[in-house]
Amino acid sequence: MFISISTTGTAERPATDLGFLLHKHPGKVQRFATSHGEAHVFYPEATDAVCTAALLLDIDPVALVRRGMGKGRGGSPDFALAQYVNDRPYAASSLLAVALRTVFRTAMKGVCENRPGLADETRPLRIVLPAVPANGSGEGGGAAMVARLFEPLGWQVEAAPVPLDETFPEWGESRYLRVGLSGTLRLADALQQLYVLLPVLDGAKHYWVAPDEVDKLLAAGEGWLADHPERALIAGRYLARRWSLTRRAMQRLELARLAEADDREAEEFDNAVDDSGETAYATGPAPGGPAGQPAVAGATSGSVPEPDAAAAAKPPSLAEQRRAAILDALREVGAARVADLGCGQGELIAALLKDARITEVLGVDVSSRALSTAARKLRLERMSERQAARVSLVQGALTYTDARLKGYDAAVLSEVIEHLDLPRLPALEQAVLGVARPSAVVVTTPNAEYNVRWESLPAGHVRHADHRFEWDRAQFRAWAERAAAAYGYTVVIRPVGPQDPEVGAPTQLALFRLGTPAAAGTAPAPAGTSATTGAATTAAVTTPDTTTPDTTTPEGGDTR
Amino acid sequence: MTDANRPTGPTDAAPDTSSPPATPPTAPAAPRILPVTDLSLVVLVGTSGAGKSSFARKHFLPTQVVSSDFCRGLIADDENDQSASAEAFELLHHIVGKRLAGGRLTVVDATNVQPEARKQLIRIARDHDVLPIAIVLDVPPGVCAERNRTRPDRQLPPHVVPRQNRELRRSLRGLEREGFRKVHILRGEAEVDAAEIVTEKRYNDLRHLTGPFDIVGDVHGCRAELETLLTRLGYEIGRDAEGRPVDAAHPGGRTAVFVGDLVDRGPDTPGVLRLVMGMVGAGHAVCVPGNHENKLGRAMDGRNVTVSHGLQESLDQLAAEPEEFRLQVRAFMRDLVSHYLLDGGRLVVCHAGLPEKYHDRTSGRVRSHALYGDTTGETDEYGLPVRYPWAEEYRGKALVVYGHTPVQVPGFVNNTICLDTGCVFGGSLTALRYPERELVSVEAEQEWYAPVRPMTAAAPEPHEGRPLDLADVAGRRTVETSLHGRITVREENAAAALEVMSRFALDPRLLAYLPPTMAPSATSRRPGYLEHPEEAFSSYRADGVQHVICEEKHMGSRAVVLVARDDTALEQRFGIAGPGAIWTRTGRAFLSDDAVTGAVLDRVRAAAEKAGLFDELGTGWLLLDAELMPWSLKALELLRRQYAAVGAAAGAALPTVLAALEQAAGRGLDLGELTERQRRRAADAEAFVAAYRRYCWPTEGLAGIRLAPFQVLAAEGANLAVRPHDEHLGWIDRMVAADDHEAPLLRGTGRLLVDTSDERSVEAGIAWWEELTGAGGEGMVVKPLSSTARGRAGEGRQGALLQPGVKVRGREYLRIIYGPDYTEYLDQLRQRFLGHKRSLALREYALGLEALDRLAAGEPLWRVHEPVFAVLALESEPVDPRL
């Protein structure tokens, strides 16, 4: 990987002053050992008029991999580093940032003992980075991102995308940019900006993000970061993925290997949990300090948006309305022991635990990572024994029958069935309705007709990348009635969320109850709920239409 | 003597009390034979000092005896610490329970003179469905007290033995009533000394009978159909003077087995009984009772039963028979044993089905289960109880053959089969030939009795995808393989596999196989090479494998192809109709577009048809191991995000670096080797880009897709993966030749046979590899020609399983694996460790073949799925992914 720094000058103010500023003699070729390979500094040109210093970091790819493969503390969190086929030897990443800091440490501090005062002056500078990895998708692309980061600092930015492979133009452009920066700045500022912004552009760091990273960021950002319009973005990405990284590194290995066996990206298999932001659920009175966010987050939380904080004042999200509708249905059937099948990160479990009528909750999910996230967010380890005894989380797959699921009053399949390939659905029906056979089953799923009302959803798209299908109201009803009949249940279907006269509500809920309609009619209905028996084909309860469509996400902010 | 599996009638109420009533304690005792059932709970009863421990030591294995003193010692470090008794007995009961659960004869050495103590033991025996047996050591209290005095380790207060003796006296007469099914009382020292224990088999244990058998479903008085069926099965029917059938014998020595419900509803219950009783009496048949025999027997014994479900017909017909016949019938029914274990325990016959945990057991509960089956507690629309689908949960090794529930078409569900095809309701009478597993049926001559509910396939449908249970795959498991012994799957690997299998994979019914990983050849020391064929040939030669086949490695992705001859061909074996499927190493659908999958399958099917493979292999489907090209078809995302990206970064950076270096050199700077090194880097990066580009080409629908099958894994009833590789390639060559030459889909596989003992042959193998890889090929795979191969056998053991193949990858191809300039770092890269990869390759190979064996044997889905799932789980084990 490579960076060149050029400046121009005159006989009175020669460009070769760059050598003094960098503390590297323009007539020499110097070599420095860094932890990832040798760094070479040389000057392709050095005249009074123009002087260019080049830093070439000759990365040892094998050493990089051997280091990257380690597990736990010594290992690197960047999964890409574990690959021998790796862009790190060519692209400007955090490795280059570290090399810059190692090789030009004094210059970066703005110290120049031989020529006092020189370091405080601005100079015309031109920086060339032939391959900058810039992840800017969704934010205007890589080139726009470079501009957003550097232009406010006084740089003129040229950023030309590099094609992936000219033989296959249909593959499009790579994430690399050939970047040229021109501006008149103090060299020390320029180096510090590069030190911070190269990793920000890359979005991946090769070493563990430790708490002192915040201090490093504040130090390197002194004098320019505070007024930068994109400071939130910079802080967020510089300290990116700080909480989830270690967990991911530890938990995803088995799945990552399976993905690798199949020539897939690890994320394609390991996508059951959304790693963005994580806060504990409020599950009643709980001891201890602030949930989830350790103290160091406070240093930047003023500028990093917190997803949940702003939501408080809003009307209930669709996810909340869905949970309320599920709780209503569970109360209606008088369920005390409830199995949440496909519990994801435990949002519904948290809601169930707040209801004293629910004595026992079994959370089942196929994703081990979802379960450990749920355990963390529910703060199971810190619950009182009596509270903790109400909930258990187990791994299970609903396409397999499972004796542990037998004997519950009710099972909930909230936003679950659409994550199954349609041909596998009969196996789920059999496992839940046929074998687990709870007295009641609550199923929710998106109403595909409503998708046209989501402004952010392109036409014809499903609401979540992992949705294998989305049904309209007629399809859901047909399925529910067939499944109910096959397994001796009766079913009623209800809308959840704001009712649209044309396309219905965003979510549809089916409440299955074991037994023939006659038998269901004799079951005592809890006080305060409307009778639903005999209404097998009509929507019996309508959620009041009090809210406007939630425009945040079609999933209603619910990631499972 | 009684057996709990026999009907409980008045005659059973008094168990065998084998105590000679009037033997004076002083008389020289004759040897006393004490029969003990081989799986039972033997409870010794006697006062302290009666000699129970010595008796137990003399007659039983030390491990069979659980003593309260020992348990007291475990709990409290002191065998006499009475304060620890409660815990000690809790422990004793726990151990007894564990032993009985494991089906092991267990002897309790404790005083057991108090009824409460015995009651708990009887309950434990019943909980585990084994017989409780009491052996009482009734030794005079004086003798006991004297013994206790002389034992230094036991200091009993003087009142203890007399008290225990009083308790014993009170207990003696009531032991049978308490529930002991055998009670042996030994009076006095001499009798104790003279006792001999004889182990008896359980009544249901006919494991020594190995058949072959013809198992006959519910007859229900259909004598004519039974005669026809027996005749069709090859039995010769013997008749009495009146021409009535009274026996049937098979000239081949086969034995008939009746699953019960011989009687009721039908036209000639006495005729059926006469025939079957004759066969049983002559040793030509065995018979288990059905619920109808049970009720009829009770009715004939004068018990109060509700006369329904065709019982009246039997009673009327039997009333016309002579009293003597009726007595024979009553005796016959009384002696029927609820179920039988046959053929070394591989076959279990009973009337209504039996879970595995009851197979070797004897209790009222087991008998009731065998006769009536289990119900869910729900009733169906006809008011009949809904049967619990026990067969779907059945995971036992023994084949369970039963009747009781009429089905239209009998079929195997998890190694069980119901043979009741409702003959009396106008269906048919069915027999199962065992071990052939063939069904033989005769149609009913008429509907003899109207069914309450219509005849439907009431047995669980194996086609519903239901039979797989989480317990079949989850957690730490050990899978038995015929090739490589027991293979363990760890919990974390199973968890990952469960996630992938349930979220991404195809229906497990189709996924009869996942390909194993393959190890590379040993690391080459040749300058410039990491892998070279030399090592592959020499290692097989060292293991005594003379003939190997080198197969060209295709530049695509692994694909398993299941292709059906027609759209119904898969239904019987896989339970799914359709053209078949194509899947990846992890069981995902290979192509996202079903239409393209269908088009590929169409072409494969057509080629196999034209090549005559379906007919030749006698199959409606083929399972192929193949490589699907191009690689970019499946791995495009990976190519774009990793391989092409690295090429792009290198292509952008290195020319700039070289230009800067040249400019610096132009200034006269001494750059040493730096420039040369960066030039090599640039050349390596270009070579890397060239390497991956060979694996990429555009496809449009079927156009551009190439499929290179290299093995025919399986066909109906046959695991073909064990056949020699030249045979496989022969079949495949014919398919390739039969493919459309204008726009070929199928690609042949280049191969070369090498004799590892012939230097020139080895040289030719190396030259072929050099030629292949020199032209940009990925490399080759070297396999023992015979397919499965073992190393040299050792003393008394077979040789270890050898690698089923090793890959030898080309020098340029390895840039995609080890990085563009890996050739600069060969010394470091040579320190790679192949041990785990090789072990993994063997384990996965053995599991894959195990799945194919099980599929070929027609084993239930869970048995096929188990090793397939294990392959997926093992793929998530940590192993260097570059190997």
ipTM: 0.82
The answer to whether the bond into A169 is cis (omega within 30° of 0) is: no
In chain B, residues with a C-beta closer than 8 Å to the C-beta of A46 are: 667
Domain count, chain A: 2
B54: exposed, middle or buried (Cβ count in 10 Å: 0-12, 13-18, 19+): middle
In chain A, residues with a C-beta closer than 8 Å to the C-beta of B492 are: 254
Give yes or no for a contact between B629 and B705, defined as CB atoms under 8 angstroms apart: yes
Q: Residues A135, A229: one domain?
A: yes
Q: Which residues contact B566 (CB under 8 A, 6 or more apart)?
A: B620
Instruction: Identify the residue with better confidence: A211 or B271.
Output: B271
Write down the pLDDT at residue B490: 93
Write down the pLDDT at residue B521: 96
Give the residue numbers spanning the domain of A66: 2-238
Search chain A and give the residue with CA nearest B475.
A395
- Position A536 confidence tier, pLDDT thresholds 50, 70, 90: very low
Q: Residues A320, A234: one domain?
A: no
B420: left (phi over 0), alpha (psi -120 to 50) or beta: beta
- Position A68 confidence tier, pLDDT thresholds 50, 70, 90: low
- Position A463 confidence tier, pLDDT thresholds 50, 70, 90: confident
Q: CB A272 to CB B635 under 8 A?
A: no
In chain B, residues with a C-beta closer than 8 Å to the C-beta of A89 are: 650, 681, 821
What number of residues does chain B have? 883
Q: Residues A214, A326: one domain?
A: no
Search chain B and give the residue with CA nearest A366.
B499
Give yes or no for a contact between B109 and B56, defined as CB atoms under 8 angstroms apart: yes
Q: How far apart are alpha carbons A323 and A45 in whole angstroms? A: 68
Q: Residue A260: inside a domain, yes or no?
A: no
Would you say residue A283 has pLDDT above 80? no
Q: CB A435 to CB B466 under 8 A?
A: yes
For residue B387, the surrounding DSSP H or E stretch is strand B385-387
**Residue A420 CA from chain centroid, whole number:** 22
Work out the angle between the directed axes of helices A212-220 and A231-238 (0-180°, nearest 10).
140
Residue burial B794-822, b: 16+ Cβ < 10 Å; e: rest: eeeeeeebbbbbbbbbbbbbbbbbbbbbb
Write down the pLDDT at residue A75: 43
Write down the pLDDT at residue A172: 87
Q: Residue A527: inside a domain, yes or no?
A: no
Write down the pLDDT at residue B382: 76
Q: CB A91 to CB B649 under 8 A?
A: yes
Q: How far apart are alpha carbons B695 and B9 in whole angstroms? A: 79
Q: Residues A349, A486: one domain?
A: yes
- CA distance readout (Å), A44 to A5, A53, A57, B671, B801: 10, 7, 16, 11, 61
Q: CB B663 to CB A44 under 8 A?
A: yes
Q: Residues A495, A352: one domain?
A: yes
Write down the pLDDT at residue B27: 52
Search chain B and give the residue with CA nearest A429.
B466
Q: Residues A475, A385: one domain?
A: yes
How far off is chain A from B470, nearest CA to CA, in Å?
A: 5
Question: Which residues are paired to A2 by β-bridges?
Answer: A56
Search chain A and give the residue with CA nearest B518.
A261
Size of interface A-B (CB pairs under 8 A): 250
Write down the pLDDT at residue A104: 92
Give yes or no for a contact between B311 and B264, defined as CB atoms under 8 angstroms apart: yes
Q: CB A272 to CB B503 under 8 A?
A: yes
Q: Residue A472: inside a domain, yes or no?
A: yes
Search chain A and give the residue with CA nearest B505.
A421
Q: Residue A450: inside a domain, yes or no?
A: yes
Q: Residue A547: inside a domain, yes or no?
A: no
Q: How far apart are alpha carbons A238 and A514 in whole angstroms? A: 54
Q: Average pLDDT across each block of 10 residues of chain B; the chain has 883 residues. List them in order.
A: 44 45 51 90 94 94 95 91 91 97 96 93 95 94 87 80 91 91 92 92 93 95 96 96 95 96 95 96 96 93 87 92 94 94 96 93 91 84 80 90 90 90 94 94 93 59 62 93 94 93 93 96 94 96 95 94 94 89 95 93 96 96 96 88 91 94 92 91 94 91 94 96 96 95 93 96 97 91 94 83 96 91 88 91 97 92 94 90 83
- Stretch among A107-111, A480-484, B461-465 having the lowest mean pLDDT: B461-465
Q: CB A83 to CB B653 under 8 A?
A: no
User: How far does chain A reach from its first CA to its final CA, in angstroms?
Assistant: 40
Write down the pLDDT at residue B157: 83
Write down the pLDDT at residue A274: 65
Question: Which residues are paired to A475 by β-bridges?
Answer: none
Write down the pLDDT at residue A244: 44
Would you say residue A198 has pLDDT above 50? yes
What six digits make up the tokens of A126? 């031109």
Q: Residues A339, A232: one domain?
A: no
What six digits make up the tokens of B727? 């045979």
Chain mean pLDDT for chain A: 79
DSSP string computed for B780-818: EEEEETTSS-B---BTTBPPPBPPS-EEEE-TTTHHHHH
Q: CB A162 to CB B652 under 8 A?
A: yes
- Position A142 confidence tier, pLDDT thresholds 50, 70, 90: confident
Q: CB A397 to CB B878 under 8 A?
A: no
DSSP string computed for B76-125: HS-TT-GGGHHHHHHHHHHHHHHHHHTT--EEEES---SHHHHHHHHHHH
Q: CB B495 to CB A423 under 8 A?
A: no
User: How far does chain B reach from its first CA to its final CA, in angstroms?
Assistant: 67
Q: Residues A336, A228: one domain?
A: no
Give yes or no for a contact between B705 and B633, defined as CB atoms under 8 angstroms apart: yes
Write down the pLDDT at residue A524: 43
Would you say residue A401 has pLDDT above 60? yes
What six digits make up the tokens of B673? 């080797």
Q: How far apart are alpha carbons A14 and A26 in whole angstroms? A: 12
Q: Residues A233, A323: one domain?
A: no
Picking from B507, B641, B661, the nearest residue to A423 by CB comes out as B507
Q: Which residues contact A212 (CB under 8 A, 6 or more apart)?
A: none
Q: How far apart are alpha carbons A347 and A558 in whole angstroms? A: 8
Write down the pLDDT at residue B815: 92
Measured over the CA atoms of residue A368, residue A369, residue A371 and residue A372, the dihedral's sign is: positive
How large is the C-alpha radius of gyration of chain B? 36
Q: How far apart are alpha carbons B579 and B563 in whole angstroms? A: 6
- Position A261 confidence tier, pLDDT thresholds 50, 70, 90: confident
What six digits make up the tokens of B833? 């460790």
B839: exposed, middle or buried (Cβ count in 10 Å: 0-12, 13-18, 19+): middle
What six digits make up the tokens of B734? 């014919």
In chain B, residues with a C-beta closer than 8 Å to the C-beta of A59 are: none
Long-range Cβ contact pairs of A112-121 (< 8 A, separation 24 or more): A112/A20, A112/A21, A112/A23, A114/A20, A115/A17, A115/A20, A118/A17, A118/A20, A118/A21, A119/A21, A119/A186, A119/A187, A119/A188, A120/A186, A121/A186
Write down the pLDDT at residue A73: 34
pLDDT in tens, B107-162: 999 999 999 999 999 999 999 999 999 999 999 988 888 888 888 777 778 888 88
Q: CB B474 to CB A395 under 8 A?
A: yes
Q: Residue A554: inside a domain, yes or no?
A: no
Q: CB B663 to CB A257 under 8 A?
A: no
Give yes or no for a contact between B259 and B419, defined as CB atoms under 8 angstroms apart: yes
In chain B, residues with a C-beta closer than 8 Å to the C-beta of A43 are: 664, 667, 669
Write down the pLDDT at residue A205: 54
Q: Please name the residue ranges forming H helices in A288-397.
A: 318-332, 347-353, 368-378, 385-388
- Position A541 confidence tier, pLDDT thresholds 50, 70, 90: very low
Q: Residues A108, A228: one domain?
A: yes
CATH number of the domain to which A367 belongs: 3.40.50.150
Write down the pLDDT at residue B466: 56
Give yes or no for a contact between A189 and A197, defined as CB atoms under 8 angstroms apart: no
Q: Residue A466: inside a domain, yes or no?
A: yes
pTM of the model: 0.83
With H, G, I as helix, E, B as strand and everything else as coil, classify residue B30: coil
- Position A303 confidence tier, pLDDT thresholds 50, 70, 90: very low
Q: CB A174 to CB B689 under 8 A?
A: no
Write down the pLDDT at residue A516: 59
CATH number of the domain to which A166 belongs: 3.30.1610.20
Test mutation, A400, A432, A516, chain B, max B CBs within 10 A: A400
HSE, side-chain direction, 13 A CA sphere, residue B448: 26
Of the candidates B723, B685, B703, which has an alpha carbon nearest to the alpha carbon of residue B815? B685
With H, G, I as helix, E, B as strand and everything else as coil, classify residue B128: coil
Q: How far apart are alpha carbons A106 and B743 in whole angstroms? A: 67
Q: How far apart are alpha carbons B46 and A102 in whole angstroms? A: 88
The residue to which tokens 């491990």 are assigned: B63
Q: Please name the residue ranges forming H helices in B128-217.
A: 141-150, 160-172, 175-178, 188-194
How far off is chain A from B872, nearest CA to CA, in Å?
A: 8
Q: Residues A322, A234: one domain?
A: no
Q: How far apart are alpha carbons B134 and B815 in whole angstroms? A: 77
In chain A, residues with a C-beta closer than 8 Å to the C-beta of B495 are: 254, 368, 395
Q: Residues A13, A146: one domain?
A: yes
Last residue of some domain: A176, A204, A238? A238
How far off is chain A from B403, nearest CA to CA, in Å?
A: 23
Q: Where are the beta strands (DSSP E) in A305-451?
A: 337-341, 360-365, 391-395, 410-414, 440-446
Give yes or no for a contact between A82 and A68, defined as CB atoms under 8 angstroms apart: yes
Of the candidates B689, B774, B319, B732, which has an alpha carbon nearest to the alpha carbon of residue A167? B689
Q: Residue A305: inside a domain, yes or no?
A: no
Q: How far apart are alpha carbons B184 and B186 in whole angstroms? A: 7
What six digits make up the tokens of B708? 């290179």
Amino acid present at A331:
R
